[in-house]
Structure 1
Amino acid sequence: MLFIVSGRDKPAGIGARLEFRARHRAHYASLGDDLVLAGPYLGADGEPIGSMIVIRAVDQQAADKFARADPYWTEGVFESLDVSRWDWFMKRPDALLS
């Protein structure tokens, strides 16, 4: 199953984001092929203000547990975090059909 992990930074959070970026990226890189895609939300000035990550997990509980272990959440970079099951309907790569 696919899940969208959507986190929004606290206001003026760029310093904390940069401080914990390497740990955040390593956390998601540890998923290997279960990391589908990832990238930051950008503000009007082009600076990161959050993250959207698509992961594969066995169920909602597993996706929630993994997302809430993200250093951006545990270290307080994110003000909010949402994990939603998602169906990639259009332009889905064939590799995700299995």
Structure 2
Amino acid sequence: MPLTMIVTRDVEMRYRGFLSSIMLEVSPGVYVAPEMTSAVRQRVWHVMTEWWQTLGRGSLTLVWRDTKATGNLRIETLGEPAKTIVDADGILLVKRK
């Protein structure tokens, strides 16, 4: 169960209430869960996606450890250009699609 982090920016208060009920808000708009299962993470992101598609304001970024991904990290975004992690000769970089 890897660490999961969600960063919100300029979103409605409903996101804050929901995320605060299941994750720690370590800084304004930054939520972490040290041991969130894949199933819970998928359900949380499904809720965030539905709300964002309805409300269409702000942005959300989800980051978690994925040993099958480049750099062992996976990134999902709503409201911002999609991002991927690339290995450039041993240096990890974030690439916007």
TM-score category of the 2 structures, normalised to the smaller one: 0.3 to 0.5
TM-score by length of 1: 0.42
Whose strand fraction is larger, Structure 1's or Structure 2's?
Answer: 2
Structure with greater contact order relative to length (CA < 8 Å, sep ≥ 6): 1
TM-score by length of 2: 0.42
